Structure formats: structure tokens, C-alpha cells
């Protein structure tokens, strides 16, 4: 699968702390598993992991 942002083709399955910033405050969303593009840090997450990230962002 090609990334629409960087056109890389190799996904890496990994568990990471995802950086997140909002209104000048930076933090990390911990322990998110998914498929990541190494060149641009875009990711593809399963529904459960995506919901976890969204809950933290909106919480």
C-alpha cells in the first residue's frame, strides 16, 4: 500500500507513543499499535486503536 503523503510503500507494524500537540501544548498518546510509514510517520490504525486515539484527543 502506498502512502498518499510520501508515496512510500513499506509499512511497519509497531507499537508507538504518538506525538500530539494542541494549542501549543505537546504530549504523547501512549502505546498505540498500528501500521506506520517510516518516512513520514503517517499511520493506519485498527478501529479500536483509532477510537482510543480519538478519545484521548477529545478528552
Q: What is the pLDDT of residue 36?
A: 92
Q: Give one DSSP letter per residue of 1-35, joined into a string.
A: ---TTT-----EEEEEEEEEEETTEEEEEEEEEEE
Answer yes or no: is 3 within a domain. no
Q: Report pLDDT digits (tens) over 2-19.
A: 787 888 778 899 999 999
User: What is the number of structural domains in the chain?
Assistant: 1
Answer yes or no: is 49 within a domain. yes
Q: What is the pLDDT of residue 59?
A: 82
Q: What is the pLDDT of residue 2?
A: 77
Domain residues for the domain of 26 are: 12-58
Which CATH number belongs to the domain containing residue 28 in this structure?
A: 3.10.20.860
Q: What is the pLDDT of residue 50?
A: 96
pTM of the model: 0.78
Amino acid at each position: 500500500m502506498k502512502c498518499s503523503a510520501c508515496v512510500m510503500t513499506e509499512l511497519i507494524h509497531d507499537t508507538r507513543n504518538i506525538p500530539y500537540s494542541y494549542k501549543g501544548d505537546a504530549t504523547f498518546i501512549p502505546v498505540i499499535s498500528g501500521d506506520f510509514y517510516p518516512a513520514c510517520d503517517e499511520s493506519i490504525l485498527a478501529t479500536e486503536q483509532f477510537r482510543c486515539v480519538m478519545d484521548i484527543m477529545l478528552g
